[in-house]
Structures are given as C-alpha cells and as structure tokens.
Amino acid sequence: MQLYSTNDRSNIVNLKQAVLKSLAEDKGLYMPTSIPQLPQAFLDNLQSFSFEEIAFQVSKNLFGSTIPNWGLWQICETAINFPAPVVKVTESISSLELWHGPSLAFKDFGARYMAHLMSYFTRNEDQKLTILVATSGDTGGAVAAGFLDAPGIEVVILYPSGRVSPLQEQQLTTLGGNISACEIQGSFDDCQSMVKTAFLDSQLNAKYHLSSANSINIARLIPQSFYYFEAMKQLDQSQQNVFCVPSGNFGNLTAGLLAQRMGLPISQFIAATNLNRVVPDYLQSGTYQPKASIPTISNAMDVGSPSNFVRIQELFDKSHSKMSQAIKGYAYDDAATTGELLSLYQDTGYLADPHGAVGFLAAKEYLQSHSRSTHVTVLETAHPAKFLDTVQECIGEQIAVPDRLSVLSSRQKVATPLSNEYSEFKTYMLQRD
C-alpha cells in the first residue's frame, strides 16, 4: 500500500511510514494512492463474515501484501473484539451503536486497531514510540484505553481544561502507567495546534520518536470503515441505505466515504453537526470558512476547523458539486439537541447521547424530503452515560452507568496543568525523563 500527502501528490510513503509519522512533513494528511474495489463476492455475502473477518478483508484490500496474513489477522482479531449492533429505532431510522468498547465511544475501534498496528510495525525496534494526542473529548479516553500497557509505546494526551465531561476527564487522567495527561488552559483547537507544532519541532524530534493518535492518523481512519460494512450486513440491502454521521473532525464520515469507494452501496451521507457548522455551511454555499470552535453539549464535535476536510476534498477531486451531492449537511443548537434527546426517548424508548441526538435530528429532517424507501442509519457515537449530567437533566431520570465507566470515579486524577503557549508544552516535554 502506498499513501500520498494531501499537500503534495508526489510525496509518497508506505503504510508503516504513514502510520508512524501520522502527518507528512509538508503538513499534509496521508491518503491511499488507490482505493481498490472489494471483490463482489465479498460485498454480496457480508452476512457470511464475522466482524473480525470483515476487518481482515477490508484491511487486506487496502494493504495488499504490506502485512502478512498472520500479522494482519492478529491485529484485526485483537482490536475488533466487541460488537457494533444495528438497533431499529423507528420504521425508517436505525442506530448503529459504536459504544460497546472499553471507553464507550466509537474511537475505541480506531485506537485499538492503531495501537496493535503500531506495535506490529515497531516490534523489532529499540526506541520507544511517544504518541501525542489532542482530544476534544473521547479520543483521549479511547487512546488511553487502547494503548494502556502497549509494549514500547507511551502516550501524552492534551485536553482542554473544563471542556470535557467529568467522566471523559477520568478516562484520560486515571489510568497511569504509560499514559500521561496535560490539562491545557485553552480550546481543543489550541491543543491540536500544539500537537501539530510539536511534530515539526526538531528538538522534540531529536529526543522522541513522535507519533500521533488523532483522527489525522490513517491507522485510526481505516478501521472506522469496517463498521459501515458490519452495519450493512445487518440492514435490509434492498432499501436505499443512507448513513448519518454526527461529525467534528470528520474522521468517521471520511471512513464511510472510503467504505463507499471500496464498493459498499451507501446511497448518501448526512453530515450532522452542532453549531460548529463549517462543513454544512460549505455544502450549502461552496465557501469554506474555518472558525474558532464554539462550546456545546455535544463537545466531542466542537471543532471549528475539521482536520479531515482536506481528505474529503481529495475524495471528490476538490469539486463542491460532487461533494454536495454525496453529502447533505445539517446543523443544530443545544436546545434542539436536548429537545430531540427527550422526544426520541419518550416516543421510542431509545436513549441517545447528545452527539447521537444531533444525528437523529438530521436523519429526521433529511427524511422529510426523501422517499419512503430510504432508510437512515445514525452512527450512535457514544454511550449516553458518558454525558451523564446532560442526559439525566434532559430526561429527568437517573440512568445506569456501565461498570467500565463507574470504576473510574474511585481512581486518582493525575494531570499536568499547562497554558496554551506552545513553549510551555515544549519545556514540559523536554523535561520529561
């Protein structure tokens, strides 16, 4: 498999380089030079494959002979070890529940797959790998859980102080071991830009073998395409299947587009956002205008400058008209989101998290203007208990917290407080042992 940088098509690397570097030196994001179609026999018979087998087939299709079958099977089998069930919510809307992993969010798929892929690639090397990751919410928890105790790998997580939920904060700050957390006085965009600067810093690169676990890493993106196949396997394939993706950095939606390019018959995508609506606005107007992020209750989507937008542009040859045909954008404020969370629960008994609720809003609005044979599957990106206060206040009921979350509250928080000045973060990194 070969990948190019979105800033320079002649800058070609192999999978190992792309996974370990994460970001190209020209600041571009890596994209596969070709996205082969999967064999029709596979696409027509998804039902006969387990989720791990789907992961293997899709990986193999992209990687070619880059990783031997035994290695690839081990990665898929270890990383993709929890289900992604499709739950029917109404006649025309289903929920693809992506929260059955250790941190209760879809990012577990990407984090676990990337951790095992990186371990595979560095298994014969001496120098430790240091993963830098900026999180607006769930990334950190998923990465921490995915990489905890991974041999030869340490993780440094940057998160915006006060802008992640208490439970998310516990997920990032209580594991210890090879996982460290920095609490940044600033926004997620500040955290992300500090990480991007660090990768280009020669002093830090001399001290560390740096790598990233953000959604910019291609190793996060690829496994996120698996569950679109896994979902289709559970859906009625004779209907028009649309996927609705609650989006922030647009990794999940980009992964869906990859699945579609590999031959999965997805008829359209819906990009659902909160008030951070740069992409829906672009799809409407043709003008792309990144902004400072706005805090909302669906905080994992509080992104004013979505990093994967350049990848989506690549997939559509930078054509606004192609992109706006394939993807419909919708954006909602917090009042609409809590309104939907409550009414969905009252009408159907289905309890969504705030990110999923944004998706259900978009799915319903979309269906108002689309045919009755259309079925929308909303990606339910996190378990509602991850946003406990918001969800309980909204429905006026206590909800049960899964054990894998509730144990965290008894653990000690360990985080290093830092300003949003890059120099302060750099000093911290240089002084670490």
Ligand X SMILES: *Cc1c(COP(=O)(O)O)cnc(C)c1O
Binding interface with ligand X (CB under 6 A): 105, 107, 137-138, 215, 246-252, 300-301, 355, 381-382
Closest distance to ligand X from the beta carbon of 30 (Å): 16
Structure tokens at 347: 């009408």
Closer to ligand X by Cβ: residue 263 or 354 = 354
Structure tokens at 149: 């105790």
Closest distance to ligand X from the beta carbon of 109 (Å): 11
Closest distance to ligand X from the beta carbon of 336 (Å): 16
Residues 354 and 300 sit within 8 Å (Cβ to Cβ) = no
Closer to ligand X by Cβ: residue 263 or 356 = 356
Closest distance to ligand X from the beta carbon of 170 (Å): 15
Q: How far apart are CA 359 and CA 357, in angstroms?
A: 5
Neighbours of 185 (CB within 10 A): 14
Query: Which amino acid belongs to residue 429?
Result: M
Closest distance to ligand X from the beta carbon of 247 (Å): 4
Residue nearest to ligand X (CB): 138
Closer to ligand X by Cβ: residue 107 or 163 = 107
Closest distance to ligand X from the beta carbon of 202 (Å): 29
Neighbours of 389 (CB within 10 A): 11
Closer to ligand X by Cβ: residue 67 or 172 = 172
List, as one string, the DSSP characters of 298-319.
Answer: SGGG--SS-TTHHHHHHHTTT-
Neighbours of 227 (CB within 10 A): 27
Closest distance to ligand X from the beta carbon of 212 (Å): 14
Give every CB contact of residue 366 below 8 A, 6+ residues apart in sequence: 242, 244, 270, 328, 330, 376
Structure tokens at 100: 């059955």
Neighbours of 182 (CB within 10 A): 23
Closest distance to ligand X from the beta carbon of 107 (Å): 6
In angstroms, the Cα distances linking 303 to 98, 181, 289 are: 21, 20, 12
Half-sphere exposure for 391 (CA within 13 Å, toward CB) = 23
Residues 378 and 96 sit within 8 Å (Cβ to Cβ) = yes
Q: How far apart are CA 88 and CA 52, in angstroms?
A: 23
Closest distance to ligand X from the beta carbon of 306 (Å): 7
Closest distance to ligand X from the beta carbon of 334 (Å): 15
* CB burial of residue 316 (10 Å; 0-12, 13-18, 19+): middle
Closer to ligand X by Cβ: residue 248 or 304 = 248
Closer to ligand X by Cβ: residue 174 or 247 = 247
Closest distance to ligand X from the beta carbon of 253 (Å): 6
Closer to ligand X by Cβ: residue 46 or 191 = 191
Closer to ligand X by Cβ: residue 107 or 375 = 107
In angstroms, the Cα distances linking 312 to 96, 129, 216, 289, 323 are: 22, 29, 12, 15, 8
Tell me 387's DSSP state.
G
Whose CA is closest to 304, among 316, 312, 295?
295
Closer to ligand X by Cβ: residue 264 or 379 = 379
Closer to ligand X by Cβ: residue 122 or 276 = 276
Tell me 164's DSSP state.
S
Q: How far apart are CA 383 and CA 106, in angstroms?
A: 9
Q: Strand, helix or coil at 363?
A: helix
Residues 310 and 290 sit within 8 Å (Cβ to Cβ) = no
Closer to ligand X by Cβ: residue 54 or 300 = 300
